[in-house]
Structure 1
Protein backbone atom coordinates (compact mmCIF):
# COMPACT_ATOMS: atom_id res chain seq x y z
CA UNK A 1 0.00 0.00 0.00
CA UNK A 2 1.43 3.42 -0.98
CA UNK A 3 1.74 6.28 1.47
CA UNK A 4 -1.28 8.22 0.14
CA UNK A 5 -3.52 5.17 0.22
CA UNK A 6 -2.35 4.32 3.73
CA UNK A 7 -3.17 7.80 5.01
CA UNK A 8 -6.60 7.68 3.36
CA UNK A 9 -7.27 4.31 4.97
CA UNK A 10 -6.27 5.66 8.38
CA UNK A 11 -8.54 8.66 7.86
CA UNK A 12 -11.53 6.46 7.07
CA UNK A 13 -10.82 4.27 10.10
CA UNK A 14 -10.58 7.34 12.32
CA UNK A 15 -13.94 8.63 11.04
CA UNK A 16 -15.56 5.24 11.63
CA UNK A 17 -14.25 5.14 15.19
CA UNK A 18 -15.51 8.68 15.80
CA UNK A 19 -18.96 7.87 14.43
CA UNK A 20 -19.12 4.76 16.60
CA UNK A 21 -18.18 6.80 19.68
CA UNK A 22 -20.82 9.40 18.83
CA UNK A 23 -23.48 6.72 18.52
CA UNK A 24 -22.50 5.24 21.87
CA UNK A 25 -22.63 8.71 23.42
CA UNK A 26 -26.09 9.51 22.06
CA UNK A 27 -27.39 6.10 23.14
CA UNK A 28 -26.17 6.89 26.65
CA UNK A 29 -27.89 10.30 26.61
CA UNK A 30 -31.22 8.89 25.45
CA UNK A 31 -30.97 6.12 28.01
CA UNK A 32 -30.39 8.62 30.83
CA UNK A 33 -33.15 10.88 29.56
CA UNK A 34 -35.67 8.01 29.47
CA UNK A 35 -34.58 6.69 32.85
CA UNK A 36 -34.92 10.14 34.39
CA UNK A 37 -38.45 10.58 33.03
CA UNK A 38 -39.51 7.16 34.34
CA UNK A 39 -38.10 8.00 37.76
CA UNK A 40 -40.11 11.18 38.19
CA UNK A 41 -43.13 9.28 39.46
CA UNK A 42 -46.50 10.95 39.89
CA UNK A 43 -46.83 14.53 38.73
CA UNK A 44 -49.56 16.64 40.30
CA UNK A 45 -51.56 19.50 38.84
CA UNK A 46 -49.60 22.71 39.13
CA UNK A 47 -51.30 25.46 41.10
CA UNK A 48 -49.54 28.42 39.61
CA UNK A 49 -50.22 30.51 36.53
CA UNK A 50 -48.24 30.98 33.35
CA UNK A 51 -47.51 34.55 34.43
CA UNK A 52 -46.04 33.46 37.76
CA UNK A 53 -43.84 30.86 36.09
CA UNK A 54 -42.62 33.26 33.41
CA UNK A 55 -41.78 35.87 36.03
CA UNK A 56 -39.86 33.30 38.10
CA UNK A 57 -37.84 32.01 35.14
CA UNK A 58 -37.06 35.50 33.94
CA UNK A 59 -35.71 36.26 37.40
CA UNK A 60 -33.55 33.13 37.23
CA UNK A 61 -32.12 34.18 33.87
CA UNK A 62 -31.50 37.78 34.91
CA UNK A 63 -29.82 36.76 38.15
CA UNK A 64 -27.74 34.25 36.21
CA UNK A 65 -26.71 37.13 33.95
CA UNK A 66 -25.42 39.07 36.93
CA UNK A 67 -23.22 36.19 38.09
CA UNK A 68 -22.10 35.17 34.59
CA UNK A 69 -23.60 31.70 34.88
CA UNK A 70 -23.66 29.33 31.91
CA UNK A 71 -26.72 28.52 29.82
CA UNK A 72 -26.66 25.03 31.35
CA UNK A 73 -27.14 26.54 34.81
CA UNK A 74 -30.10 28.64 33.67
CA UNK A 75 -31.73 25.59 32.10
CA UNK A 76 -31.19 23.37 35.15
CA UNK A 77 -32.55 26.01 37.53
CA UNK A 78 -35.73 26.39 35.47
CA UNK A 79 -36.06 22.61 35.25
CA UNK A 80 -35.67 22.20 39.01
CA UNK A 81 -38.35 24.84 39.53
CA UNK A 82 -40.78 23.16 37.12
CA UNK A 83 -40.18 19.77 38.71
CA UNK A 84 -40.61 21.24 42.18
CA UNK A 85 -43.97 22.80 41.34
CA UNK A 86 -45.11 19.69 39.52
CA UNK A 87 -45.03 17.93 42.88
CA UNK A 88 -46.04 20.73 45.26
CA UNK A 89 -48.75 23.36 45.28
CA UNK A 90 -48.18 26.93 46.36
CA UNK A 91 -50.27 29.80 47.62
CA UNK A 92 -50.04 32.23 44.73
CA UNK A 93 -50.50 35.14 47.14
CA UNK A 94 -47.13 34.35 48.70
CA UNK A 95 -44.97 35.91 45.99
CA UNK A 96 -41.95 35.86 48.28
CA UNK A 97 -42.25 32.06 48.53
CA UNK A 98 -42.08 31.69 44.75
CA UNK A 99 -39.02 33.94 44.69
CA UNK A 100 -37.34 31.97 47.45
CA UNK A 101 -37.98 28.71 45.59
CA UNK A 102 -36.54 30.26 42.42
CA UNK A 103 -33.46 31.39 44.32
CA UNK A 104 -32.94 27.94 45.85
CA UNK A 105 -33.24 26.27 42.44
CA UNK A 106 -30.71 28.67 40.93
CA UNK A 107 -28.31 28.13 43.82
CA UNK A 108 -28.57 24.34 43.46
CA UNK A 109 -28.08 24.51 39.70
CA UNK A 110 -24.99 26.67 40.17
CA UNK A 111 -23.54 24.11 42.57
CA UNK A 112 -24.04 21.46 39.88
CA UNK A 113 -22.54 23.42 36.98
CA UNK A 114 -20.37 26.35 38.00
CA UNK A 115 -16.73 26.42 39.05
CA UNK A 116 -17.26 29.45 41.25
CA UNK A 117 -20.45 29.41 43.33
CA UNK A 118 -21.59 32.63 45.05
CA UNK A 119 -22.25 32.62 48.77
CA UNK A 120 -25.93 32.36 49.56
CA UNK A 121 -25.89 35.89 50.95
CA UNK A 122 -24.78 37.18 47.53
CA UNK A 123 -28.05 36.18 45.91
CA UNK A 124 -30.78 38.76 45.87
CA UNK A 125 -34.16 39.33 44.29
CA UNK A 126 -35.83 42.36 42.83
CA UNK A 127 -38.00 42.87 45.89
CA UNK A 128 -36.99 40.35 48.54
CA UNK A 129 -33.73 39.72 50.32
CA UNK A 130 -33.34 36.41 52.17
CA UNK A 131 -30.84 35.30 54.78
CA UNK A 132 -28.65 32.26 54.24
CA UNK A 133 -30.60 30.10 56.66
CA UNK A 134 -33.89 30.60 54.83
CA UNK A 135 -32.23 29.77 51.51
CA UNK A 136 -30.64 26.63 52.92
CA UNK A 137 -33.98 25.41 54.25
CA UNK A 138 -35.60 25.97 50.89
CA UNK A 139 -32.72 24.18 49.15
CA UNK A 140 -33.34 21.18 51.39
CA UNK A 141 -37.05 21.31 50.63
CA UNK A 142 -36.30 21.32 46.89
CA UNK A 143 -33.79 18.48 47.22
CA UNK A 144 -36.19 16.31 49.19
CA UNK A 145 -39.07 17.06 46.84
CA UNK A 146 -36.94 16.10 43.82
CA UNK A 147 -35.65 13.08 45.75
CA UNK A 148 -32.09 14.36 45.34
CA UNK A 149 -32.20 13.56 41.61
CA UNK A 150 -30.35 16.63 40.35
CA UNK A 151 -28.14 15.24 37.57
CA UNK A 152 -30.54 15.99 34.74
CA UNK A 153 -29.62 15.71 31.06
CA UNK A 154 -29.65 19.12 29.32
CA UNK A 155 -30.50 19.87 25.68
CA UNK A 156 -27.07 21.40 25.10
CA UNK A 157 -25.53 17.91 25.18
CA UNK A 158 -27.50 16.91 22.06
CA UNK A 159 -26.79 19.94 19.87
CA UNK A 160 -23.56 18.87 18.17
CA UNK A 161 -24.92 15.44 17.40
CA UNK A 162 -28.19 16.60 15.86
CA UNK A 163 -26.47 19.29 13.79
CA UNK A 164 -24.09 16.67 12.40
CA UNK A 165 -26.74 13.97 11.88
CA UNK A 166 -28.99 16.20 9.81
CA UNK A 167 -26.15 17.87 7.91
CA UNK A 168 -26.99 21.38 9.06
CA UNK A 169 -24.37 24.04 8.41
CA UNK A 170 -23.06 26.85 10.57
CA UNK A 171 -24.06 30.39 9.72
CA UNK A 172 -22.00 33.53 10.20
CA UNK A 173 -22.94 33.63 13.87
CA UNK A 174 -22.68 29.92 14.41
CA UNK A 175 -25.53 27.44 14.37
CA UNK A 176 -24.89 26.07 17.85
CA UNK A 177 -24.65 29.55 19.38
CA UNK A 178 -28.03 30.48 17.91
CA UNK A 179 -29.50 27.16 19.04
CA UNK A 180 -28.31 27.78 22.61
CA UNK A 181 -29.86 31.26 22.57
CA UNK A 182 -33.17 29.85 21.35
CA UNK A 183 -33.23 27.28 24.13
CA UNK A 184 -32.58 29.90 26.81
CA UNK A 185 -35.34 32.09 25.38
CA UNK A 186 -37.75 29.15 25.08
CA UNK A 187 -37.46 28.06 28.69
CA UNK A 188 -39.39 31.19 29.66
CA UNK A 189 -42.37 29.98 27.64
CA UNK A 190 -42.60 26.22 28.18
CA UNK A 191 -42.77 23.93 31.17
CA UNK A 192 -39.62 21.82 30.98
CA UNK A 193 -41.22 18.84 32.69
CA UNK A 194 -43.35 18.43 29.56
CA UNK A 195 -40.54 18.89 27.03
CA UNK A 196 -37.59 16.43 27.02
CA UNK A 197 -34.09 17.85 26.46
CA UNK A 198 -33.66 15.94 23.18
CA UNK A 199 -36.86 17.47 21.77
CA UNK A 200 -35.72 20.97 22.74
CA UNK A 201 -32.29 20.41 21.22
CA UNK A 202 -33.50 19.12 17.86
CA UNK A 203 -36.07 21.89 17.54
CA UNK A 204 -33.43 24.51 18.38
CA UNK A 205 -30.98 23.20 15.78
CA UNK A 206 -33.57 23.31 12.98
CA UNK A 207 -34.99 26.67 14.06
CA UNK A 208 -31.50 28.18 14.26
CA UNK A 209 -30.67 26.85 10.79
CA UNK A 210 -33.94 28.16 9.37
CA UNK A 211 -34.80 24.70 8.08
CA UNK A 212 -38.29 23.13 8.11
CA UNK A 213 -38.89 20.38 10.64
CA UNK A 214 -41.63 17.93 9.72
CA UNK A 215 -43.12 14.79 11.20
CA UNK A 216 -42.21 12.73 8.14
CA UNK A 217 -38.57 13.82 8.38
CA UNK A 218 -38.36 12.89 12.06
CA UNK A 219 -40.07 9.54 11.59
CA UNK A 220 -37.81 8.60 8.69
CA UNK A 221 -34.56 9.63 10.37
CA UNK A 222 -35.29 8.89 14.02
CA UNK A 223 -37.49 5.83 13.75
CA UNK A 224 -34.82 3.39 14.86
CA UNK A 225 -33.00 2.67 18.10
CA UNK A 226 -31.87 4.66 20.08
CA UNK A 227 -34.52 7.16 18.94
CA UNK A 228 -37.60 5.03 19.53
CA UNK A 229 -38.31 6.96 22.70
CA UNK A 230 -37.94 10.32 20.93
CA UNK A 231 -41.05 12.46 21.45
CA UNK A 232 -41.85 13.78 17.99
CA UNK A 233 -44.88 15.81 19.03
CA UNK A 234 -42.90 17.63 21.71
CA UNK A 235 -40.11 18.42 19.25
CA UNK A 236 -42.62 19.88 16.78
CA UNK A 237 -44.22 21.94 19.56
CA UNK A 238 -40.81 23.33 20.52
CA UNK A 239 -39.94 24.02 16.90
CA UNK A 240 -43.17 25.93 16.28
CA UNK A 241 -42.59 28.04 19.38
CA UNK A 242 -38.98 28.79 18.45
CA UNK A 243 -39.78 29.76 14.85
CA UNK A 244 -42.50 32.09 16.14
CA UNK A 245 -40.05 33.58 18.62
CA UNK A 246 -37.49 34.06 15.85
CA UNK A 247 -39.99 35.81 13.61
CA UNK A 248 -41.15 38.07 16.44
CA UNK A 249 -37.55 38.83 17.37
CA UNK A 250 -36.69 39.82 13.81
CA UNK A 251 -39.62 42.22 13.72
CA UNK A 252 -38.98 43.84 17.11
CA UNK A 253 -35.21 43.82 17.35
CA UNK A 254 -34.36 44.61 13.72
CA UNK A 255 -31.23 42.49 13.60
CA UNK A 256 -30.03 43.39 17.09
CA UNK A 257 -28.16 40.48 18.75
CA UNK A 258 -29.96 38.30 21.28
CA UNK A 259 -28.99 39.12 24.88
CA UNK A 260 -27.51 35.69 25.64
CA UNK A 261 -24.06 34.36 24.92
CA UNK A 262 -22.90 30.81 24.28
CA UNK A 263 -21.03 30.13 27.51
CA UNK A 264 -22.41 32.74 29.87
CA UNK A 265 -25.53 34.82 30.16
CA UNK A 266 -24.34 38.47 30.04
CA UNK A 267 -24.70 40.96 32.88
CA UNK A 268 -27.63 42.68 34.56
CA UNK A 269 -28.13 45.37 37.13
CA UNK A 270 -29.64 44.71 40.51
CA UNK A 271 -32.83 46.53 41.52
CA UNK A 272 -33.83 47.85 44.91
CA UNK A 273 -34.76 45.20 47.44
CA UNK A 274 -36.77 45.06 50.60
CA UNK A 275 -36.02 42.69 53.43
CA UNK A 276 -38.71 40.34 54.67
CA UNK A 277 -38.81 38.97 58.16
CA UNK A 278 -38.57 35.21 57.82
CA UNK A 279 -39.29 34.30 61.42
CA UNK A 280 -42.44 32.55 60.21
CA UNK A 281 -40.25 30.48 57.90
CA UNK A 282 -38.01 29.27 60.70
CA UNK A 283 -40.38 26.41 61.43
CA UNK A 284 -40.33 25.18 57.84
CA UNK A 285 -39.39 21.55 57.44
CA UNK A 286 -38.46 19.72 54.19
CA UNK A 287 -41.81 17.95 53.96
CA UNK A 288 -44.46 20.39 55.08
CA UNK A 289 -45.15 24.08 55.68
CA UNK A 290 -48.00 26.55 55.43
CA UNK A 291 -47.14 27.68 51.90
CA UNK A 292 -45.90 24.51 50.19
CA UNK A 293 -47.90 21.31 50.29
Structure 2
Protein backbone atom coordinates (compact mmCIF):
# COMPACT_ATOMS: atom_id res chain seq x y z
CA UNK A 1 0.00 0.00 0.00
CA UNK A 2 1.31 3.35 -0.97
CA UNK A 3 1.64 5.93 1.69
CA UNK A 4 1.09 9.56 1.00
CA UNK A 5 3.06 12.05 3.00
CA UNK A 6 1.62 15.58 3.35
CA UNK A 7 4.44 18.00 3.27
CA UNK A 8 3.64 21.40 4.70
CA UNK A 9 3.56 24.01 2.03
CA UNK A 10 5.92 26.20 3.91
CA UNK A 11 8.50 23.45 4.00
CA UNK A 12 7.96 22.68 0.35
CA UNK A 13 8.52 26.26 -0.67
CA UNK A 14 11.34 26.70 1.73
CA UNK A 15 10.03 29.76 3.51
CA UNK A 16 7.37 30.66 6.00
CA UNK A 17 4.52 33.09 5.59
CA UNK A 18 4.56 35.98 8.04
CA UNK A 19 1.00 37.07 8.70
CA UNK A 20 0.95 40.73 9.72
CA UNK A 21 -1.13 41.47 12.79
CA UNK A 22 -2.46 45.00 13.00
CA UNK A 23 -2.45 46.57 16.43
CA UNK A 24 -5.85 46.47 18.09
CA UNK A 25 -7.51 48.52 20.83
CA UNK A 26 -8.05 46.77 24.08
CA UNK A 27 -10.58 47.71 26.66
CA UNK A 28 -9.36 48.32 30.17
CA UNK A 29 -6.75 51.04 29.76
CA UNK A 30 -9.37 53.83 29.88
CA UNK A 31 -10.67 54.10 33.43
CA UNK A 32 -13.38 56.26 35.04
CA UNK A 33 -12.22 57.61 38.41
CA UNK A 34 -14.99 60.09 39.33
CA UNK A 35 -17.82 59.57 39.96
CA UNK A 36 -16.95 56.03 40.89
CA UNK A 37 -19.58 55.18 43.48
CA UNK A 38 -21.14 56.78 46.54
CA UNK A 39 -21.00 60.42 45.43
CA UNK A 40 -24.00 62.70 45.89
CA UNK A 41 -24.32 65.29 43.14
CA UNK A 42 -27.00 68.01 42.98
CA UNK A 43 -28.81 69.29 39.91
CA UNK A 44 -27.87 72.80 38.84
CA UNK A 45 -24.31 72.46 40.15
CA UNK A 46 -21.02 71.78 38.35
CA UNK A 47 -18.93 68.65 38.91
CA UNK A 48 -15.74 67.26 37.36
CA UNK A 49 -16.03 63.90 35.62
CA UNK A 50 -12.53 62.37 35.69
CA UNK A 51 -10.84 59.41 34.03
CA UNK A 52 -7.47 57.86 33.15
CA UNK A 53 -6.96 58.55 29.42
CA UNK A 54 -5.42 55.20 28.51
CA UNK A 55 -5.49 54.28 24.82
CA UNK A 56 -8.85 55.86 23.97
CA UNK A 57 -7.45 58.17 21.32
CA UNK A 58 -7.83 61.92 20.94
CA UNK A 59 -11.50 62.27 21.88
CA UNK A 60 -14.15 60.49 23.93
CA UNK A 61 -17.90 60.68 24.50
CA UNK A 62 -19.59 60.57 27.89
CA UNK A 63 -22.91 58.96 28.79
CA UNK A 64 -25.07 59.04 31.87
CA UNK A 65 -26.49 55.62 32.73
CA UNK A 66 -29.39 54.83 35.01
CA UNK A 67 -29.76 51.28 36.31
CA UNK A 68 -27.22 50.24 33.69
CA UNK A 69 -29.18 51.70 30.78
CA UNK A 70 -28.55 54.77 28.64
CA UNK A 71 -30.18 57.88 30.17
CA UNK A 72 -28.66 60.84 28.29
CA UNK A 73 -25.50 62.11 26.65
CA UNK A 74 -23.36 64.27 28.88
CA UNK A 75 -21.28 65.18 25.82
CA UNK A 76 -20.97 63.46 22.43
CA UNK A 77 -17.36 64.49 21.86
CA UNK A 78 -14.72 66.05 24.09
CA UNK A 79 -10.93 65.94 24.36
CA UNK A 80 -9.50 62.85 25.97
CA UNK A 81 -7.70 64.92 28.58
CA UNK A 82 -8.99 63.12 31.66
CA UNK A 83 -11.47 65.74 32.86
CA UNK A 84 -14.85 67.19 31.86
CA UNK A 85 -16.77 69.75 33.92
CA UNK A 86 -20.49 69.00 33.81
CA UNK A 87 -23.32 71.19 35.04
CA UNK A 88 -26.10 68.76 35.89
CA UNK A 89 -29.37 69.85 34.23
CA UNK A 90 -32.27 70.49 36.58
CA UNK A 91 -34.39 68.29 34.29
CA UNK A 92 -32.60 65.12 35.41
CA UNK A 93 -34.70 63.03 37.77
CA UNK A 94 -33.38 62.37 41.24
CA UNK A 95 -32.12 58.85 41.83
CA UNK A 96 -29.38 56.68 43.29
CA UNK A 97 -28.71 54.28 40.39
CA UNK A 98 -26.59 56.51 38.15
CA UNK A 99 -23.22 55.74 36.57
CA UNK A 100 -20.96 57.52 34.09
CA UNK A 101 -19.77 55.70 30.98
CA UNK A 102 -16.88 57.02 28.86
CA UNK A 103 -16.30 55.62 25.36
CA UNK A 104 -13.59 56.23 22.76
CA UNK A 105 -15.04 57.99 19.71
CA UNK A 106 -12.70 55.92 17.47
CA UNK A 107 -13.35 52.49 18.91
CA UNK A 108 -16.50 51.72 20.86
CA UNK A 109 -14.80 48.65 22.41
CA UNK A 110 -12.61 50.99 24.42
CA UNK A 111 -14.75 52.19 27.31
CA UNK A 112 -15.21 52.19 31.05
CA UNK A 113 -17.92 53.11 33.52
CA UNK A 114 -18.24 53.94 37.21
CA UNK A 115 -17.60 50.93 39.43
CA UNK A 116 -20.62 51.68 41.61
CA UNK A 117 -23.70 53.90 41.51
CA UNK A 118 -23.76 57.54 42.52
CA UNK A 119 -26.75 59.71 43.48
CA UNK A 120 -28.28 62.77 41.83
CA UNK A 121 -30.49 64.92 44.05
CA UNK A 122 -32.24 68.26 43.84
CA UNK A 123 -33.67 70.76 46.30
CA UNK A 124 -37.27 71.19 45.29
CA UNK A 125 -39.70 74.07 45.45
CA UNK A 126 -40.17 77.59 46.77
CA UNK A 127 -38.86 77.96 50.28
CA UNK A 128 -37.31 74.48 50.43
CA UNK A 129 -33.91 75.74 51.55
CA UNK A 130 -34.27 79.51 51.67
CA UNK A 131 -36.89 81.65 53.37
CA UNK A 132 -37.65 85.36 52.87
CA UNK A 133 -38.33 86.99 56.24
CA UNK A 134 -38.49 90.68 55.27
CA UNK A 135 -40.48 92.14 53.60
CA UNK A 136 -43.00 89.42 54.29
CA UNK A 137 -46.30 91.28 54.04
CA UNK A 138 -47.82 94.54 55.28
CA UNK A 139 -44.68 96.72 55.19
CA UNK A 140 -44.77 100.23 53.70
CA UNK A 141 -41.51 101.19 52.00
CA UNK A 142 -40.84 104.70 50.69
CA UNK A 143 -38.87 105.41 47.50
CA UNK A 144 -35.29 106.75 47.98
CA UNK A 145 -35.06 105.25 51.47
CA UNK A 146 -32.93 102.22 52.37
CA UNK A 147 -34.43 99.01 53.70
CA UNK A 148 -32.98 95.63 54.65
CA UNK A 149 -34.20 92.65 52.66
CA UNK A 150 -33.68 89.61 54.89
CA UNK A 151 -33.82 85.85 54.43
CA UNK A 152 -32.76 82.63 56.15
CA UNK A 153 -29.89 81.46 53.95
CA UNK A 154 -29.93 77.71 54.81
CA UNK A 155 -28.48 75.78 51.82
CA UNK A 156 -28.84 78.18 48.89
CA UNK A 157 -25.14 78.23 48.02
CA UNK A 158 -22.68 81.13 48.19
CA UNK A 159 -24.68 83.69 46.20
CA UNK A 160 -28.30 84.65 45.54
CA UNK A 161 -30.18 87.05 43.29
CA UNK A 162 -33.07 89.23 44.43
CA UNK A 163 -36.14 90.03 42.36
CA UNK A 164 -38.97 92.53 42.86
CA UNK A 165 -42.37 91.27 41.72
CA UNK A 166 -45.54 93.29 41.19
CA UNK A 167 -48.83 91.40 41.05
CA UNK A 168 -46.83 88.19 40.64
CA UNK A 169 -44.85 89.45 37.61
CA UNK A 170 -41.22 90.54 37.29
CA UNK A 171 -40.77 94.25 38.00
CA UNK A 172 -36.99 94.60 38.33
CA UNK A 173 -33.82 92.95 39.62
CA UNK A 174 -32.86 94.33 43.01
CA UNK A 175 -29.55 92.48 42.65
CA UNK A 176 -28.50 89.83 40.13
CA UNK A 177 -25.72 88.55 42.40
CA UNK A 178 -25.03 89.14 46.07
CA UNK A 179 -23.56 87.09 48.90
CA UNK A 180 -25.89 84.62 50.55
CA UNK A 181 -25.41 86.22 53.95
CA UNK A 182 -29.10 86.69 54.78
CA UNK A 183 -29.27 90.46 54.33
CA UNK A 184 -29.22 93.04 51.52
CA UNK A 185 -29.67 96.80 51.91
CA UNK A 186 -31.81 98.23 49.12
CA UNK A 187 -32.49 101.86 48.31
CA UNK A 188 -35.93 101.80 46.67
CA UNK A 189 -35.63 103.58 43.27
CA UNK A 190 -37.99 106.42 42.44
CA UNK A 191 -38.74 104.57 39.19
CA UNK A 192 -40.71 101.96 41.16
CA UNK A 193 -44.38 102.82 40.79
CA UNK A 194 -46.40 103.29 43.95
CA UNK A 195 -48.56 100.30 44.71
CA UNK A 196 -49.49 97.65 47.23
CA UNK A 197 -48.97 94.42 45.26
CA UNK A 198 -45.20 93.99 45.65
CA UNK A 199 -43.26 90.93 46.82
CA UNK A 200 -39.56 90.04 47.05
CA UNK A 201 -38.15 86.78 45.68
CA UNK A 202 -34.68 85.48 46.64
CA UNK A 203 -33.17 82.82 44.34
CA UNK A 204 -30.00 80.74 44.58
CA UNK A 205 -27.62 81.53 41.70
CA UNK A 206 -26.35 77.94 41.67
CA UNK A 207 -29.75 76.23 41.69
CA UNK A 208 -32.80 78.08 40.39
CA UNK A 209 -35.14 75.65 42.16
CA UNK A 210 -33.95 77.00 45.52
CA UNK A 211 -35.99 80.17 46.06
CA UNK A 212 -38.60 81.82 48.23
CA UNK A 213 -41.13 84.62 47.99
CA UNK A 214 -42.62 87.07 50.49
CA UNK A 215 -45.67 85.44 52.06
CA UNK A 216 -47.85 88.51 51.45
CA UNK A 217 -47.63 91.80 49.56
CA UNK A 218 -46.00 95.00 50.79
CA UNK A 219 -46.49 98.60 49.64
CA UNK A 220 -44.13 101.00 47.88
CA UNK A 221 -44.87 104.73 48.16
CA UNK A 222 -42.91 107.84 47.23
CA UNK A 223 -43.30 109.70 50.50
CA UNK A 224 -46.16 111.92 49.37
CA UNK A 225 -48.87 109.45 50.20
CA UNK A 226 -49.86 111.27 53.36
CA UNK A 227 -51.65 113.55 50.93
CA UNK A 228 -54.71 112.49 48.98
CA UNK A 229 -53.15 112.64 45.50
CA UNK A 230 -49.89 113.86 44.00
CA UNK A 231 -48.49 113.40 40.50
CA UNK A 232 -44.80 112.47 40.63
CA UNK A 233 -44.07 112.10 36.92
CA UNK A 234 -43.81 114.18 34.80
CA UNK A 235 -42.06 116.40 37.33
CA UNK A 236 -41.79 119.43 35.05
CA UNK A 237 -39.30 120.49 32.40
CA UNK A 238 -39.24 117.16 30.54
CA UNK A 239 -39.42 116.93 26.76
CA UNK A 240 -41.72 114.17 25.56
CA UNK A 241 -41.61 113.27 21.88
CA UNK A 242 -44.55 112.16 19.79
CA UNK A 243 -44.65 108.44 19.01
CA UNK A 244 -42.69 107.56 22.18
CA UNK A 245 -43.91 105.91 25.38
CA UNK A 246 -43.65 107.57 28.79
CA UNK A 247 -44.61 106.64 32.33
CA UNK A 248 -47.15 108.79 34.14
CA UNK A 249 -46.81 108.21 37.89
CA UNK A 250 -48.69 109.36 40.96
CA UNK A 251 -49.11 108.61 44.62
CA UNK A 252 -52.46 108.18 46.31
CA UNK A 253 -53.98 106.55 49.33
CA UNK A 254 -57.65 106.47 48.38
CA UNK A 255 -59.91 105.74 45.44
CA UNK A 256 -60.01 102.67 43.22
CA UNK A 257 -59.94 104.37 39.80
CA UNK A 258 -58.70 107.59 38.21
CA UNK A 259 -59.11 109.63 35.04
CA UNK A 260 -55.97 110.91 33.28
CA UNK A 261 -56.05 113.96 31.00
CA UNK A 262 -53.59 115.99 28.92
CA UNK A 263 -54.16 119.73 29.30
CA UNK A 264 -52.42 122.85 28.03
CA UNK A 265 -52.58 126.53 28.87
CA UNK A 266 -52.66 129.31 26.28
CA UNK A 267 -49.85 131.78 25.71
CA UNK A 268 -52.17 134.76 26.09
CA UNK A 269 -53.61 133.60 29.39
CA UNK A 270 -51.61 130.94 31.28
CA UNK A 271 -54.52 130.47 33.68
CA UNK A 272 -56.90 129.49 30.91
CA UNK A 273 -56.72 125.74 30.28
CA UNK A 274 -57.65 123.68 27.25
CA UNK A 275 -58.34 119.96 27.41
CA UNK A 276 -56.20 118.40 24.67
CA UNK A 277 -57.37 114.83 25.18
CA UNK A 278 -58.45 112.33 27.80
CA UNK A 279 -55.59 109.83 27.99
CA UNK A 280 -57.67 107.30 29.92
CA UNK A 281 -61.18 107.88 31.21
CA UNK A 282 -61.17 105.06 33.74
CA UNK A 283 -58.02 103.23 34.86
CA UNK A 284 -56.86 101.51 38.04
CA UNK A 285 -55.46 103.70 40.79
CA UNK A 286 -52.21 101.72 40.93
CA UNK A 287 -49.84 104.69 40.68
CA UNK A 288 -48.59 104.15 37.14
CA UNK A 289 -49.80 104.41 33.55
CA UNK A 290 -47.77 104.02 30.34
CA UNK A 291 -48.79 106.45 27.60
CA UNK A 292 -47.67 106.63 23.98
CA UNK A 293 -47.82 110.27 22.85
CA UNK A 294 -49.97 110.39 19.67
CA UNK A 295 -48.26 111.67 16.52
CA UNK A 296 -51.10 114.18 16.09
CA UNK A 297 -50.23 116.01 19.34
CA UNK A 298 -49.21 119.63 18.54
CA UNK A 299 -45.82 120.95 19.60
CA UNK A 300 -46.01 122.92 22.85
CA UNK A 301 -44.28 123.78 26.12
CA UNK A 302 -47.28 124.37 28.39
CA UNK A 303 -48.60 120.85 28.72
CA UNK A 304 -49.44 119.23 32.02
CA UNK A 305 -51.12 116.03 33.23
CA UNK A 306 -54.28 116.13 35.32
CA UNK A 307 -55.41 113.13 37.36
CA UNK A 308 -58.78 112.96 39.08
CA UNK A 309 -60.24 110.31 41.36
CA UNK A 310 -63.47 108.59 40.49
CA UNK A 311 -65.97 108.45 43.35
CA UNK A 312 -63.97 110.45 45.88
CA UNK A 313 -62.64 114.00 46.06
CA UNK A 314 -59.14 114.49 44.74
CA UNK A 315 -57.42 116.12 41.75
CA UNK A 316 -53.81 117.00 41.00
CA UNK A 317 -51.95 118.69 38.14
CA UNK A 318 -48.35 118.00 37.18
CA UNK A 319 -45.77 120.68 36.50
CA UNK A 320 -45.46 121.94 32.90
CA UNK A 321 -43.54 119.93 30.33
CA UNK A 322 -42.93 120.05 26.58
CA UNK A 323 -44.17 117.84 23.77
CA UNK A 324 -42.02 117.95 20.67
CA UNK A 325 -42.17 116.12 17.31
Query: Based on CA coordinates, which of the two structures has the bigger radius of gyration?
Result: 2
Higher-helix-fraction structure? 1
State the TM-score, normalized to the length of structure 2.
Answer: 0.19
State the TM-score, normalized to the length of structure 1.
Answer: 0.20
Higher-strand-fraction structure? 2
Query: Which gives a bigger RCO, structure 1 or 2 (Cα 8 Å, sep 6+)?
Result: 1
